[in-house]
């Protein structure tokens, strides 16, 4: 971890980021618009070297409206075959660089039947159904405790703050519980029924590992999902990645402005 931090610090001229962002599908452009310094993951010791499909795969530093921000332009996923500890390593690095608040974004399927494609949802809580946990293994006491409390990962005051931001922008916002499955296959209708009975509103294949690690490290977490499709069985339409990309593309300007408004309000 020390050599990762040393390497990054050698590239950022004393920049101390206070906010971290992980940019999911549809939001990658955000880091093109606000980019002061960019470091490809491939150059960073300890980061996953493989390319992120459809993303640039770089760590971007920028001052946005007076807030010092570090962004992951492109994330790695568990379903690609990386370990949980590999995909959450950058979160630990952000913590060590000074990040206090982490904004997580993703594309997700609607389990809640009242949600519509291109809706934005503030994550209020999550269900980890990935079958594993990123904190399994020896504990690093310098980051957090062995058995971290998980009763308020997505802090109520930050959910409120995000809601207020959406209101200011006249964005009709949804709130709900994000259910994480490992992927890469989409869910069956029976699995989506189960998720709904369990209390889920949206389903996706990311975000939860990063949220668990950020909470463990004592960071504040904000999660925003872009609803890209009706989940399996919710409509008659078969699920496809191209639909997910198309819908997140439609929502991206609203998504970007909401994230920007949240950044300003933090
Ligand atoms: N299921 C899982 N992950 C997803 C979905 C979905 O319906 N849409 C976007 N990511």
* Domains defined for the chain, CATH in brackets: 2-265 (3.40.50.1580)
Q: From ligand 1's centre to the CA of 248, what distance in Å?
A: 12
> Who's near 106: CB < 8 A, 6+ residues apart?
24, 25, 178, 204, 206, 207, 223, 224, 225, 226
Give which of 95, 22, 7 is closest to 60, Cα–Cα: 22
How many Å apart are CA 227 and CA 34, to the nearest integer?
24
From 173, 178, 157, select the one nearest 254 (Cα to Cα).
Answer: 173
Element (H, E) at 181: strand 173-181
Q: Which residues, at least 6 apart from 157, have a Cβ–Cβ distance to it below 8 Å?
A: none
**139 is annotated as an active-site residue:** no
The whole-number pLDDT of residue 27 equals 86
Separation of CA 81 and ligand 1 centre (Å) = 18
Nearest CA to ligand 1 atom 5: 109
Mutate to test the pocket of ligand 1, among 195, 203, 255 (most ligand atoms within 8 A of CB): 203
- Give the pairing of strands 120-129 and 173-181: parallel
- Measured in Å, residue 215 CA sits from the centre of ligand 1 at 23
Its pTM stands at 0.96
Asked about 253 being catalytic, the answer comes back as no
Catalytic residue among 106, 181, 225, 229: 229
261 has catalytic annotation: no
Q: Is 55 a catalytic residue?
A: yes
Q: How far is the CA of 184 from the centre of ligand 1 (A)?
A: 9
Q: Per the residue annotation, which of 31, 34, 55, 215 is the catalytic one?
A: 55
- The angle that helices 241-265 and 156-168 make with each other, rounded to 10 degrees, is 100
Q: What is the pLDDT along the chain (266 residues), one digit of tens a residue?
A: 999 999 999 999 999 999 999 998 778 888 999 999 999 999 999 999 766 555 679 999 999 999 999 999 989 999 999 999 999 999 999 999 999 999 999 999 999 999 999 999 999 999 999 999 999 999 999 999 999 999 999 999 999 999 999 999 999 999 999 999 999 999 999 999 999 999 999 999 999 999 999 999 999 999 999 999 999 999 888 898 988 888 998 999 999 999 999 999 99
Q: Are 58 and 47 in contact (CB under 8 A)?
A: no
- CA torsion through residues 222, 227, 231, 234, sign: positive
- Among residues 121, 180, 205, 251, the one annotated as catalytic is 205
Q: Output the residue whose Cα is nearest ligand 1's atom 9.
A: 108
Is the CB of residue 210 less than 8 Å from the CB of residue 142? no
Residues in CB range of 223: below 8 A, 6 or more apart: 103, 104, 105, 106, 122, 123, 126, 154, 178, 207, 211
Residue 107 annotated as catalytic: yes
The catalytically annotated residue of 1, 18, 79, 265 is 79
Task: For residue 205, list its beta bridge partners.
Answer: none
In the residue annotation, 200 being an active-site residue is answered as no
Q: Which residues contact 7 (CB under 8 A, 6 or more apart)?
A: 43, 44, 45
């Amino acid at each position: 971890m020390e050599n990762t931090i040393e390497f990054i610090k050698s590239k950022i001229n004393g920049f101390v980021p206070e906010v971290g962002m992980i940019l999911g599908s549809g939001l990658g452009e955000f880091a093109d618009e606000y980019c002061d310094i960019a470091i490809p993951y491939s150059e960073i010791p300890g980061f996953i070297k493989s390319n992120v499909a459809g993303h640039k795969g770089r760590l971007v530093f920028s001052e946005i409206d007076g807030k010092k921000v570090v962004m992951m332009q492109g994330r790695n996923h568990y379903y690609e075959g990386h370990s949980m500890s590999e995909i959450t390593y950058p979160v630990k690095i952000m913590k060590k660089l000074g990040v206090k608040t982490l904004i997580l974004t993703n594309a997700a399927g609607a389990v809640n039947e009242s949600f519509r494609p291109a809706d934005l949802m503030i994550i209020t809580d999550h269900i980890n159904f990935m079958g594993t946990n990123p904190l399994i293994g020896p504990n690093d006491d310098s980051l957090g405790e062995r058995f971290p409390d998980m009763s308020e990962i997505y802090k109520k005051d930050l959910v409120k703050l995000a809601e207020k931001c959406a209101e200011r922008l006249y964005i009709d916002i949804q709130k709900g519980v994000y259910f994480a499955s490992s992927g890469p296959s989409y869910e069956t209708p029976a699995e989506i029924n189960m998720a709904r009975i369990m209390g889920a509103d949206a389903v996706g294949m990311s975000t939860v590992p990063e949220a668990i690690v950020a909470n463990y490290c004592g960071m504040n977490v904000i999660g925003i999902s872009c609803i890209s499709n009706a989940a399996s069985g919710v409509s008659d339409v078969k699920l496809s990645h191209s639909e997910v990309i198309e819908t997140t593309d439609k929502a991206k300007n609203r998504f970007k402005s909401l994230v920007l408004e949240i950044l300003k309000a933090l």
